[in-house]
Amino acid sequence: MLQEIKMLLPTFSLLLLCISSAISVKNDDPNYAERKRLTENLLSKSEAPHMQLRPPTPTGTPLNVTVNIYIRDIYDIDEDRNRFTVQLTMRQEWTDNRLAYTPTSADFKYFLFENIGHDGPPNIWIPDTFFREEISAFDHRLPHFNQLLRIYPDGHLLHSKRITVELHCSTLKNVKEYDCPITLASYMYPTSDLNLYWRELDAYQIWGGAATDLQGVYLKNVTTNSCTRKTLLGDWPCLDMTLTFNHHLYECPSS
């Protein structure tokens, strides 16, 4: 038995050397070291209570938030109850100069917060955008929460989250064509504090199979507009997206 152990010692030594080398390479990876440094730096910044406040702007003007939507699927069109369901990815971009940093490498493009939970990274302000026509909604969390946050060196942020939302559509009737709105709005911030804009290029994208099997209807067109809603508390920024549906019964989509 002792002799067999002695014979295996060189093999174990070689294995330990390989493991040690692999760990050394991983720890010497400049991207890993940069991510580790920035994680500590940004988490330290985010611990300050004021980081929960809306980011300041250089001239005190309203904060600009840019939005774009990727429609992944449309289903459960219910004409009797005037509702339909959309699975989408909502992406929002804004600038928070408090989170600006200087990377040690020119090749480092952005910092990615990894494995963030339901509420996002702790104490980092995220726009409170909601769906005005929402009946119910849920986010996707398997195998992890389906959201990401990129922070660029100049303090520009990109937040992306996958959501399934059931929406009200009052025009869902047995007619040839009808429009269903998807309206995004800020719940907390009036236009004096925040502006919402559609992304100038690619305000929306649609997965190729999202509009091919809609229970007797098809998606004919999508339009986007900016809007403002007035309430007793002031003027509120919003964004309109209109989905135009046609019944197969009346008209077939062109090939």
Domain ranges of the chain: 2-43, 47-247
pLDDT value at 2 more than 60: no
Question: 65-105, pLDDT tens digit by residue?
Answer: 999 999 999 988 888 888 999 999 999 999 999 999 998 88
| Contact residues for 118 (Cβ-Cβ < 8 A; gap 6+) | 139, 141, 145
CATH topology of domain 47-247: Acetylcholine Binding Protein; Chain: A, (2.70.170)
46 secondary structure, DSSP code: H
As a dihedral over the C-alpha atoms of residue 72, residue 74, residue 75, residue 76, rounded to 10 degrees, the angle is 130
> pTM of the full predicted structure?
0.81
Task: Check if the beta carbon of residue 209 is closer than 8 Å to that of residue 148.
Answer: no
Q: By C-alpha distance, which of 143, 216, 158, 229 is closest to 187?
A: 229
Kindly provide the b/e burial profile for residues 36-68, where b requires at least 16 CB atoms within 10 angstroms of the residue's own CB: eebeeebeebbeeeebeebbeeeeeebbebbbb
- The chain-wide mean pLDDT, for the chain, equals 83
Rank 105-109, 138-142, 212-216 by mean pLDDT and report only the highest: 138-142
Structure tokens of 179? 């429009």
